[in-house]
Amino acid sequence: MTETTTRKGKTVGAVANAVAILRCVAAHGTPLGVNQIARATGVSASTCFNILGTLAAETLVDFDPLDKTYRLGLGVVDLAAPVIGASSIDQINRQMARLAQAYNCLFCLWHITDDERIVLINKAFGDKTIRIDVRMGARLPAFAGAVGRCYAAHAGLPAPDLQARFAPIHWHRPPDFATYRAEVRRALADGYAFDRCQLFNGLETAASIITDAEGRSRYGLTGIAIVGQMPPAELERMGAELRNIAGRISRTVFGSPA
């Protein structure tokens, strides 16, 4: 048997169930209860409960004792570190912490899923007494907000397909499609985009996208400020800095050419 031969063997049911549960929790992004996970995976509720207890003990999932729900834990990041590079994770965290102090607002890292959603996986705060917060695991449409404009720019969809993604989004103050499409084109040219109180009332957001070697959008980086917190020129500067950081991470971590 050569080293390239595919290994075949008996599937271990407990391991397969644990993997299915982890994939279910990761795909949904939002916290789930045992019964929800059991239905989605086809694993019995009692088995699901026991596996989740083990995964929680290993920090692969986090358990909320008040809501009785589970979400993906930071232990998953520890496992992935050798693949994407522990120093790369530290680099992203350091950059977010630095930006939060420099601009004194909230910075978020969003994972872009295969089903065109973004899920919040990390955040860093400034030092203001009153601050914005977003719940870890928060899940939004990938085409919404500032990240959405950048994601749409990288997707390069024809206008009818883009409009089909745009139409179902729930905005606080929705832009018309012509304006949204123009802002997508600007995001393609600039490498960053803004949402000014359109997705969420009273919040201004700047964003850029981290891409991989195939040009696929992998993560979104956002800076979120209360409206009026910073002058327009500073907001523009923050967007440009997000673009530069996202570009550097895309090249050094994922081998992206852009």
Model confidence over 232-255: pLDDT tens digits? 999 999 999 999 999 988 887 777
Same domain, 67 and 126: no
Residue after which a domain boundary falls, among 30, 57, 76: 76
Contact 38, 45 (CB under 8 A): yes
Model confidence over 121-163: pLDDT tens digits? 889 998 876 788 999 889 999 999 999 999 999 999 999 999 9
Mean pLDDT computed over 206-221: 91
* CA gap 151, 218 in Å, rounded: 9
> How deeply is 222 buried, as exposed, middle or buried, from its count of CB atoms within 10 A (0-12, 13-18, 19+)?
buried
- The distance from CA 126 to its chain's CA centroid, rounded to whole angstroms, is 20
Q: What is the extent of the structural domain holding 17?
A: 13-76
Could you tell me how many residues make up the chain? 258
Q: Which DSSP letter does residue 58 get? A: T
Model confidence over 155-195: pLDDT tens digits? 999 999 999 999 999 999 999 999 999 999 999 999 999 99
Same domain, 65 and 102: no
User: What is the bridge-based pairing of β-strands 69-72 and 117-124?
Assistant: unpaired
In three-state secondary structure terms, 186 is helix
Residue after which a domain boundary falls, among 76, 99, 130: 76
> What count of other Cβ atoms lies within 10 Å of the Cβ of residue 73?
18
* CA gap 76, 247 in Å, rounded: 25
Same domain, 38 and 144: no
Question: Quick check: is 92 in a domain?
Answer: yes
Instruction: Output helix, strand, coil percentages for the chain, rounded to the nearest 5.
Output: 45, 20, 35
Answer yes or no: pTM beyond 0.75.
no
